[in-house]
Amino acid sequence: MAITIKEIAEKANVSIATVSRALNDNKKVKSSTRKAILDIAKNLNYVPNAFARSLVKNDTKIIGLILPDLEGEFFTEIFRGVDEVAYSEGFHTIVASSHGQRSIAEAILNFMGESFVQGMIILIPVISEQIKEIIRRSSIPLIIINARNEINTVDSVGIDNYQGSYLMTEYLIKTLGYKKIAHIRGPLHNNDSLQRFKGYTDAMKNYGMECREDWIVNGSFNVFSGEQACRRLLSLKERPEVIFAANDMMAIGCYRAVKSFGLTIPDDIGLAGFDDIFIAEFLSPRLTTVHVPISDIGKTSAGVLLERIKNGNGRDSRHIKISTGLVIKESCRKRV
Amino acid sequence: MAITIKEIAEKANVSIATVSRALNDNKKVKSSTRKAILDIAKNLNYVPNAFARSLVKNDTKIIGLILPDLEGEFFTEIFRGVDEVAYSEGFHTIVASSHGQRSIAEAILNFMGESFVQGMIILIPVISEQIKEIIRRSSIPLIIINARNEINTVDSVGIDNYQGSYLMTEYLIKTLGYKKIAHIRGPLHNNDSLQRFKGYTDAMKNYGMECREDWIVNGSFNVFSGEQACRRLLSLKERPEVIFAANDMMAIGCYRAVKSFGLTIPDDIGLAGFDDIFIAEFLSPRLTTVHVPISDIGKTSAGVLLERIKNGNGRDSRHIKISTGLVIKESCRKRV
DNA sequence: CTGTTAGCGCTTTCAC
DNA sequence: GTGAAAGCGCTAACAG
C-alpha cells in the first residue's frame, strides 16, 4: 500500500485536513507546520492518490483520444499535438483505438464512457448513425476531428482540404502551365478525399480545363492503390501531363509505377501529393505536395476541448478549419 | 452529474449493494432482480465510475508508458504494441513524454507516481543516477525497454543490437565480399549505438578486416548527422566501399550526400542501415537494413508487465532480448 | 490557523 | 438473496 495523508498526519501530529491543505498550497497554514508536513511527505515519498482526489473533485484530469488506428504518421502527430497542449494544462491523455480488431470505435466510445475522461477528441473517418447517437447523448465535451460538419452541435476541427486541393490544382495550371491534369482520389466515402476531389474539379472548371473522366481514378489512400491507379493512367492512349494524388502515400505508389514504365518524374510526367508526410522530402525527386499541419490539428482540438471543460457548455459550437499550404519541390516543373 | 448506482437502486427498489452485485455478475442475486437492475441501468445509460471502483479495489487498470519523445515511427510502434496487449487485457495506457521541454523524463516518472498507474514501461536512452534511484524506490512493477542491464532488479526488454549489427557486418564481408567497411555510429552515450558499434567491430575483427579509425565516424541518429558523416567519408583519400550506418535515418542522410557527390548507390558505394523503418523500402535504391520488430518490443514489454502486475513480485527479474533479421535490398551488391 | 465531519461512488463484510 | 454499514484516500464546508 502506498502511503496516505493519514500517516503523514500522525507523524506530524496534525489532522489530515491540515495535511491536505498544506499539500494543496492553501495559504492559511502556518508556514512552520506546512514545512514540517512537506518534509515528512517528501521523506515518506508520498504521492497523492489521484483517484481519491478525482472522486471528490469530480475532476479526473484525463481526456480521451479516439483513433481509428494507431498506424502511421498522421496518428502520431495528432497525438503529439493533443498531448502537448493537454500536458501543459495538467491533463493526461488516454488513447483508444479499434486495433483493427474488435467492434469498431463505437465500443470504445461507449467504453470510455462518461466517467473516466472529462472530454474526448474523436477522429473517425466515417461517422455512423450509431456513433452520432452516442455523441448526441454524451454528457461530456467532445471534439470531432476532420469530419464534415454533420453534427453541428459539437465542436469540430479539421483541415481545409478543399482549399489545399484548389490551391495545388491552381498552381499546376496557372504557375506551371499544365493542361492535362489527372487526379487519383481517395476512398469515396471519406470526407477528406471528397473535399480534395471537389477542390480539384472546381479549380479545373474555373480555369476552363477539361476534367476528363478517364483521368480521374479511384484509390484508397495507400501505396498500393496509388501504384495501380498510376499504371492505369500511364496506360491510357492520351496520357495526362501531371498526376495529382489525393495523398502522399498514393503518390509514393506513383513513383514506383512511373519507374516501372521506364519514365521519369518530372520530365515525362509530373506528380503532386497531399499531406506533406515526413518521407516526401526524401523521395527522389522530392515531392511537391500540400502541407498539412497535423500536430496543429491536435493542438487546436485539445485547446478547444480544454476550454470547454473549463468553461462549460456555455458557448455555441465552433468549427475550426486549419489552412494548408503548398510545398513546392521538384516533382512537377514548368511547361515550356 | 453522471448517473450512479444509488439512482438505479431507488428505481429498482433495492439497496445499492444489490445493484453493485448485479452489475458485477455476482451469482447470488435472484435472476429476476438482476434482470430488472440491468434493464434500468441500460435504460439510464449507466456507466460505472471507474475512479470510485479503483479507489476501493486499489486496481486502476491503467499502465504508464514513458517515452523520451513522441516523434517518429519508433515511438508509435512501441505504443501500438503496448496498447494492443494492454487493451486486450482490459488495461488502458497513459503515455507521458518529456515533450522536449520541461525537466526530463524524471519529472514525469515522479509525476505518474505510484498511485495512478499499476505499472510502468520506461523507454529512456540514458539512465541517470537520479532515475535509477526513482526506479529502485518504485513500489509498482516496472519494465525497462532497451537499456543495458544496468539495473538488474527490474525486468527489461530490448532488441539484440549486437546480434543485428554483427549479422549485417558479416553479411557485407562474407556474402558480398566487401573489405573496406565504414561505420557511422550513433550517439556515444546511447546504449543501442554502443552495442551496434561493438557488433560491427567484433565482426570486423573476427573476419580479419581492418577497422580503420577514419572509417568510423560519429553521428547522432538523425538525417543531418548522417549526411555530414557520409560527406566526411566520401572526402577521404581512401574511400570505403560500403557504409554501414547505425540507423536508417542516418542512412537516409547518406543518400543525399552520395547524390551530391555525383556518385551512385550501390555502384560507387554500398549502403546499409539499421531499423528497417517504413521509409526504407521507398528509397531508391531500396535500403538494405536490419529489421527491428519494434511493436514486438512493446507487446513483449506489456506482456511481462501485466504478468508482474497479476502475479506480484514473486519471480526473479527477466531480461528479454528480441532478435533482429537482415533485410536484403539493393543498396549493397556483391563485389566481383 | 487548525480540527471535525460529511461525503464523492463503489465494493464488501456481516447480519438477517 | 438482500440490506446495512464500514471504508478506500481525499477535499471542503463548518466550527472553533
Which is more confidently placed, A94 or B266? Answer: B266
pLDDT at residue B112, as a whole number: 65
Q: What average pLDDT does this structure show over A268-296?
A: 93
Q: Are residues A176 and A151 in the same domain?
A: no
All residues of chain B having their beta carbon less than 8 Å from the beta carbon of residue A116 are 50-51
Q: Are residues A273 and A170 in the same domain?
A: yes
B137/A45 CB distance under 8 A: yes
pLDDT at residue B55, as a whole number: 82
Q: Are residues A109 and A219 in the same domain?
A: no
Instruction: Compute the nearest-CA separation of A62 from chain B (Å).
Output: 9
Nucleic strand D interface residues, CB < 7 Å: A 1-2, 4-6, 16-17, 20, 23-24, 48-49, 52-53, 55-57; B 13-18, 21, 28-30, 33-34, 52, 55-56, 58
pLDDT at residue B113, as a whole number: 64
All residues of chain B having their beta carbon less than 8 Å from the beta carbon of residue A51 are 51, 54-55, 60, 115-116
Distance CA A254, CA A273 (A): 10
Mutate to test the interface with A, among B76, B91, B250 (most CBs of A within 10 A): B76
Distance CA B45, CA B41 (A): 6
- The answer to whether residue A136 scores a pLDDT higher than 60 is yes
Calculate the dihedral angle through the C-alpha atoms of A17, A19, A23, A28, rounding to the nearest 10 degrees.
70
All residues of chain A having their beta carbon less than 8 Å from the beta carbon of residue B47 are 113-115
Assigned domain for B32 exists: yes
- Residue range B301-314, pLDDT digits in tens: 999 999 998 887 77
Q: What are phi and psi of A78, to 5 degrees?
A: -60, -50
CATH number at residue A249: 3.40.50.2300
Minimal CA–CA distance to B117: which of B68, B54, B70?
A: B54
Q: Are residues A179 and A146 in the same domain?
A: no
Residue A22 is classified by DSSP as H
- Residue range A97-113, pLDDT digits in tens: 776 555 555 556 666 66
Of B60, B83, B110, the CB nearest to A51: B60
- Specify the range with the lowest mean pLDDT, choosing from A110-114, A128-132, A325-329, B300-304: A110-114
pLDDT at residue B328, as a whole number: 97
Q: What are phi and psi of A96, to 5 degrees?
A: -130, 135
Assigned domain for A332 exists: no
Q: Are residues A193 and A246 in the same domain?
A: yes
Assigned domain for A176 exists: yes
Q: Are residues A75 and A194 in the same domain?
A: no
Q: Are residues B152 and B262 in the same domain?
A: no
Domain with B44 in it? 5-48
Distance CA A238, CA A260 (A): 19
What's the count of helices (H) and strands (E) in chain B, helices before strands? 12, 12
- Domain total in chain B: 3
pLDDT at residue A135, as a whole number: 81
How many Å apart are B115 CA and D8 C1'?
13
C-alpha dist (Å) from residue A245 to A218, B236, B326: 10, 42, 33
Assigned domain for B330 exists: no
Assigned domain for B56 exists: no
pLDDT at residue A137, as a whole number: 75
A114/B75 CB distance under 8 A: no
Assigned domain for B333 exists: no
Q: What are phi and psi of B156, to 5 degrees?
A: -140, 155
For residues A268 and A244, is the Cβ–Cβ distance under 8 A?
no
How many Å apart are A10 CA and D11 C1'?
18
- The answer to whether residue A14 scores a pLDDT higher than 80 is yes
**Parallel, antiparallel or unpaired: strands A319-322 and A270-272:** unpaired
* Closest residue of chain B to A86, computed from CA coordinates: B96
B47/A115 CB distance under 8 A: yes
Assigned domain for B25 exists: yes
CATH number at residue A40: 1.10.260.40
- Residue range B154-165, pLDDT digits in tens: 899 999 999 999
Q: Are residues B181 and B223 in the same domain?
A: yes
Which is more confidently placed, A258 or B147? Answer: A258
Q: Are residues A153 and A299 in the same domain?
A: yes
- The answer to whether residue B26 scores a pLDDT higher than 80 is no
Which is more confidently placed, B146 or B285? Answer: B285
pLDDT at residue B171, as a whole number: 98
**Position A94 confidence tier, pLDDT thresholds 50, 70, 90:** confident
How many Å apart are A50 CA and D2 C1'?
33
Q: Are residues A189 and A283 in the same domain?
A: yes
Assigned domain for A36 exists: yes
Q: Are residues B165 and B285 in the same domain?
A: yes
Alpha helices in A45-182 (DSSP H): 50-57, 72-88, 105-112, 129-137, 161-170
Residue nearest to nucleotide C8 (CA to C1'): A56
Q: What average pLDDT does this structure show over A62-83?
A: 85
pLDDT at residue A121, as a whole number: 92
Q: Are residues A32 and A96 in the same domain?
A: no
What residues contact residue A38 under an 8 Å CB cut-off, 6+ apart? A22, A23
For residue B5, how many C-alpha atoms fall within 13 Å in the half-sphere facing its CB? 16
pLDDT at residue A30, as a whole number: 85
Share of chain B above pLDDT 70, in %: 93
For strand C, give the nucleotides within 7 A of a protein CB.
Answer: 1-5, 7-13
